[in-house]
Amino acid sequence: MTPTPLLLIEDTPSLQMVYETILKSAGHLVHVEDTAQSGLAAFRKLRPPVVLLDLMLPDGDGLDLMTEMLALSPQTCVIVITANGSINKAVKAMRIGAHEFLVKPFDEQKFLNAVDNALLAHGIASNGIASNGTASNGTAQKAAGQPLGAFIGTSPVMQAVYAKITSVARSMATVFITGESGTGKELCAQAVHDLSNRAHGPFIALNCGAIPSDLLESEVFGHLKGSFTGAISEKIGAAAAADGGTLFLDEVCEMDMNLQTKLLRFLQTSTIQPVGATRPRKVNVRILCATNRDPMEAVRRGQFREDLYYRLHVVPIHLPPLRDRGADVMEIATTSLKRFAAEEGRTFTGFEPDVVALLQRHAWPGNVRQLLNVLWNVVVLNDGPLVTRSMLPDEYLRTSEALPRPGPVGPAAAQGLMESLDGQTLAQIEQYAIERAIARHGGSLPKAARELDVSPSTLYRKREAWARPVPPARS
């Protein structure tokens, strides 16, 4: 069977020859054009599944050409090629529909991987033959709109998230995940990895906000024995551990500015240099990152490098807060209740009607993490078959009844709030105050930490402790 033709639009003769030679050597049929006008004409005639497009053309803007091609054939995978100084333009291309972008210079394998990924996303094997739609790791893709990975819920906002994860998974493009704390950013990164061609490789997650800044470089890039005080042995960093797979940098906006510079160099060169090493080494890693902050606000404040932001923020995925997910609240609650009951040997099967109303009405400032914590507490301390109002944790009931939705507290509400805190322990009041501060700042722990005059790592530790209730001794 004849291989599927690819369309290469590149105006530099030497690069035309290089790209064409690489593609033909890999068994691809290639049609080459050197202007926007001739490229569009060839596209209309060939309707190729994959287009390799230089954004700088002599007779037109590559972005305009790409927009016109995608209007004619939305399923086409466009791989844009750009110089290092035009990354912002490549990012814009990704936002308006490009499948992936390559920054010159790039190596042969990266070039071929991008083409193979695009063909697979289009339902074509790398040999040009139509594929059967099976994932590269041998698992069949889930039906459109169904939950991916460990996610639960089929609300419209989450179906849009699942569609975006599925679309971007096979690309090598960096994915920037945003959302309030507790919305499932690591689950999202894991789902992207599991659906990618790197699913067989390692998935390494690193929380940049939970590691002291003076140790973060060693955690990311590793160190040699004796390279600094306390380095009693050699350490392989997260970047090297993720070689051949995916590196997920959670809370990336908390990264020290000096380390941001090194991360940018790593993204541009695919090389790492452990602390104390004299020579860099190559690694093959896909980067996914996440934050519960507004990354552009961090850029404006000078806390996050703008060039690093544009290098990372290629494909954004925003995870909605639980309060915006409608019926997902009860779907998550029911599924998790049954799982916790099985793990703890309980007989819970559901919720009484007033509990259902209470769970659906609550604002869940801690999102899914908070909901799971409440349910685990119920299962550990009680038995079913139905969850009753009296089984819910006292602190949850008090905060839920005092302030069902996060927002400013007026003078009248303040008196009721103070009364609702009567009888609570200091630890319960502290948890309430911290969750309220986080909710006021849109889920940003660093902003809440500044308001509360504590370090972000303190809030991370406390929330992790709240998420791990200790089961009581059983008789």
**Structure-model confidence comparison of residues 267 and 391, the more confident one:** 391
Asked if residue 9 lies in contact with residue 57, where contact means CB atoms within 8 angstroms, the answer is yes
Mean pLDDT of 249-256: 89
* pLDDT above 70: percentage of residues in the chain: 84
* pLDDT above 90: percentage of residues in the chain: 27
**In the prediction, which pLDDT does 403 show?**
44
pTM for the complete prediction?
0.60
Indicate whether 146 pLDDT > 90.
Answer: no
d(CA 384, CA 347): 5
For tokens 């552009």, what's the residue?
Answer: 296
Identify the weakest region by mean pLDDT among 41-55, 223-237, 262-276, 461-475.
461-475
Q: Which alpha helices (DSSP H) does 303-425 contain, by range? A: 306-312, 328-344, 353-361, 367-381, 394-402, 411-420
**In the prediction, which pLDDT does 91 show?**
73
**Structure-model confidence comparison of residues 159 and 422, the more confident one:** 159
Indicate whether 62 pLDDT > 60.
Answer: yes
| β-pairing verdict for 100-103 and 77-82 | parallel
**In the prediction, which pLDDT does 457 show?**
66
Average pLDDT, rounded, for the chain: 81
pLDDT digits (tens, 9 = 90+) for 270-318: 888 888 887 888 888 999 999 988 888 888 888 899 889 988 888 889 9
DSSP 130: B
Furthest-apart CA pair in the chain: how many Å? 81
**Structure-model confidence comparison of residues 75 and 88, the more confident one:** 75
pLDDT digits (tens, 9 = 90+) for 398-424: 766 544 444 444 455 455 555 556 666
Residue 128 pLDDT grade (very low, low, confident, very high; cuts 50, 70, 90): very low
**In the prediction, which pLDDT does 332 show?**
94
Residue 475 pLDDT grade (very low, low, confident, very high; cuts 50, 70, 90): very low
**In the prediction, which pLDDT does 130 show?**
43
**In the prediction, which pLDDT does 313 show?**
87
DSSP 250: E
Give the best-scoring range by mean pLDDT among 80-94, 125-139, 298-312, 421-435.
298-312
**Structure-model confidence comparison of residues 275 and 467, the more confident one:** 275
pLDDT digits (tens, 9 = 90+) for 102-116: 877 777 877 887 887
User: Over the range 59-90, which residues count as b (16 or more CB within 10 Å of their CB) and which as e?
Assistant: eeebbebbeebbeeeeebbbbbbbeeebbebb
d(CA 99, CA 431): 44
Indicate whether 381 pLDDT > 70.
Answer: yes
Indicate whether 84 pLDDT > 70.
Answer: no
Rounded to 10°, the helix 156-169/185-194 angle is 40
